[in-house]
Amino acid sequence: MPETWWRGAAIYQVYPRSFADGNGDGIGDLAGLRSRLPYLADLGVNAVWLTPWYPSPMADGGYDVADYRDIEPTFGTLEEAEKFIAEAHELGIKVIIDVVPNHSSDRSAWFQEALAAGPGSAARQRFWFRDEPGDWKSIFGGPAWTQVPDGQWYLHLFAPEQPDFNWTNPEVHQEFHDVLRFWFDRGVDGIRIDSAAVLVKDFDGGDPDGYTDQPEVHDVYRGWRRLAEEYDDRIFIGEVWFPDQERFARYLRPDEMHTAFNFDFLACPWDAAALRHSIQETMATHIPLGAPPTWVLSNHDVARVVTRYGREDTSWDHGARRDGVPSDLELGYRRSRAAALLAMALPGGVYIYQGEELGLPEVDDIPGDLRQDPMWPRSGYTIPGRDGCRVPLPWSGGEPPFGFGTGEPWLPQPEAWNKLTAEAQAQDLGSMLTLYKTALAIRRDRLGDGTLTWLGSAPEVLAFTRESGLTCLVNLGSEPVRLPPHETVLLASGPLEGEELPTDTAVWLA
């Protein structure tokens, strides 16, 4: 298969509200993002992925979309979005945006029309309205059905402000085809598909999880793939959460999505056997399909990797978030540096969540009255939710808002982040930012798409070579290990001990 940009890309995830504020209102926006494009180019990423930038009441951080053909006014305008796409392309950076096909906002024109039209109307057939509620539970907690004034109930797998579309309705299919064309025509290079496996519902099978991975969902993406192939090198990336790699891989068949997030790798504990198994299973399921793997350490829904890797249990599970569990941040920082080199050395694409390159920890102590994730109220104020990984980035200076903007950020930044700003790390040869820049530069020349060859090693060591001759070793054991024969050390996540690799350290050799 010929090499294309997305097969081995380093893709940087931007959560727009928290990236950079250009107008001083405390919320990130397109003006701030455009001003920081040189930073992303200097970092060395190939593409940038933005979480939803559409008009939204922000009941769920923008994933409650009111209009797919415009930009949230807090972020800017459609004209600014088009300028951003053009400016990113001038710097050699591709642009990927989110589409949320499972649900809309309750403020969307379609849903407001459905409410006004009443029971039995064509407008209500675009959603799931019933005379009696079902027993499904919302992923955010509480019931998945909400009653409207005329007595009917509507389905929302997430918050009540996010009514689910009815994907048996041809109008829904046509609407999203039109939306995809709208953005492809404006130069967007890729679409990340939110909650990709839950679109189709089976209410009659008696399955309490009858909205996950229904067979008909694959027909949706076959239609999308045919549409994308009318354009030049456009791609779809699926958010697909399955522990079963075979089930996951079905979404990557040649007539469906191009790639999907590898959450199995993200959820792995810092354990050599578990990581080796995840890597091997990923390669085994992707290679026969001709699909490149992706390697993900964190995102806007997951506790930051520095904090996770410093906990006693380093795995990740949405159902057991372990918010506020104590973490040895020094240990987590060391392991996250090693994990970065591991992820970037593996064949395929790699995703970097904003702030990962700065070594930011999770912010666990946000006051309850400042939290904005709907998980917090929906759980009866017992689950803090995802705000801790969404705190605005620290760019410069010695105190908040750390160059994020001139106003007070929408979530509070820790005072201790004065040592983690991009400015403070830029000239520090030992910083996380320098490690990422150096690794991405080497990766561009020597790594990316392809295969790997495992090397014999101790059980607690991951060791493999790539086609370019680069060898990656990661020591997850309790004792230093001897380096194999090599000519040069290209990069190490921490200081070496002569010819030995310390614990929780990774190295690239040539």
Which sequence positions are flagged as catalytic? Answer: 194, 230
- Burial of 48 from C-beta contacts in 10 A (0-12 / 13-18 / 19+): buried
Of 482, 472, 484, 426, the C-alpha closest to 446 is 472
Q: Which two tokens stand for residue 458?
A: 């101790």
Angle, CA 450 vertex, CA 445 and CA 454 arms, to 5°: 105
- Strand 500-501 and strand 481-482: the pairing is antiparallel
251-257 LR contacts (CB < 8 Å, sep 24+): 251/196, 251/197, 251/218, 251/221, 252/285, 252/286, 252/289, 252/291, 253/218, 253/289, 254/289, 254/290, 255/222, 255/225, 255/226, 256/218, 256/221, 256/222, 256/225, 257/193, 257/196, 257/221, 257/225
Q: Are 165 and 99 in contact (CB under 8 A)?
A: no
* Count, residues in the chain: 510
- Which of the 8 DSSP states describes residue 314? -
Q: Please count the other Cβ atoms lying within 10 Å of the Cβ belonging to residue 436.
A: 25
CA distance 472 to 465: 6
In sequence order, the 6+-apart residues with CB closer than 8 A to the CB of 247 are: 213
- Which of the 8 DSSP states describes residue 497? B
Q: What is the CA radius of gyration of the chain?
A: 23
**Three-state secondary-structure class, residue 61:** coil
Torsion angle in degrees (nearest 10) through CA of 281, 286, 292, 294: -40
Of 337, 351, 250, the C-alpha closest to 297 is 351
Q: Which two tokens stand for residue 451?
A: 């295969």
CA distance 303 to 336: 13
**DSSP H/E element including 353:** strand 349-353
**Three-state secondary-structure class, residue 327:** coil
φ, ψ (nearest 5 deg) of residue 170: -60, -30
